[in-house]
Amino acid sequence: MKAIISASELASDLAGPQPPTLLDVRWQLTAATAAGAAPFDGRAAYAGGHIPGAVFVDLDAELAGPPGPAGRHPLPDTERFGAAMRAAGVTADRPVVVYDGGQGWAAARAWWMLRWTGHPDVRVLDGGLTAWDGPLTSGTEESAPGDFQPVPGALPLLDADGAAALARTGLLLDARAGERYRGEVEPIDPVGGHIPGAMSAPTAENVTENGLFLPAGELADRFKALGATEGTEVGVYCGSGVSAAHEVLALTIAGIPAALYVGSWSEWSADGSRPVAVGPDPQ
């Protein structure tokens, strides 16, 4: 099953007899929003113009639980997540397409949550809304209630201990920008650096300048160069399990299964007893 869909393919599917359920997951995180300033308003952006038929999904409220010791975007309560997806019209036997403003991180988090909880057919709009050249509509839309019942466990998941172990025995990728991995800057979390043994693999390098994913073969070559050889167990983390979902999506396109450490650096760095590595080397 394909994990991404082009804008032209989506336009064709939406015009067909069985259009997919369409979810708008626009979201942004900056140092300012993390520090308590007014956050980006994805719902307002959606109301100002979205792909016709799309229903807005709030990443912070519906794709994550409350921030705390488990991280800034921990897993949401399963029942609450399922209710949100059913309210958005998600059904078990109808394909789902998710998109965001173009970065792809939030859409990938929605893709991962739906796939992890058992939905069989979810794709991300490659390039997001910026790649869409079709019509937009304003205001809000509601969908007929869906019937999706989430059952967690369909994709591999890591906790902090599992991530630490995988960094020693397999391949743990850090999807954040290189300067955060090296500990040179840390605009969001309390401590800079990375999990000892993790490899720096910024997810921004998985896409072209216009935000489209690199071809599957190029992604496979990139991850192979980082150590994702046949038989190697792979995991990914980031700041709070959002951009790492984007890297898991890129790995999926490349044909490489990978586990997501949802708590990511925001959980790891909140515990002062956990080791922190700095600099360009994994150790």
Spacing of C-alpha 60 from chain mean position:
12
> Which of 109, 223, 121 has the alpha carbon at shortest distance from 170?
223
Task: Mark whether 175 is an active-site residue.
Answer: no
What are 280's strand-pairing partners? Answer: none
Q: Distances in Å between the alpha carbon of 120 and those of 184, 207, 253?
A: 41, 25, 16
Alpha carbons 209 and 238: distance in angstroms, whole number = 21
Quickly tell me which residue has 């952006």 as its tokens.
Answer: 45
Coil, strand, or helix at residue 236? Answer: strand
What is the length of the chain?
283
Q: Distances in Å between the alpha carbon of 112 and those of 36, 141, 159, 194, 261?
A: 27, 24, 16, 23, 12
Catalytic residue among 238, 245, 250, 253: 238
Coil, strand, or helix at residue 169? Answer: helix
Number of neighbouring beta carbons within 10 Å of residue 162:
15
Quickly tell me which residue has 């937009």 as its tokens.
Answer: 136
Known catalytic residues are: 238
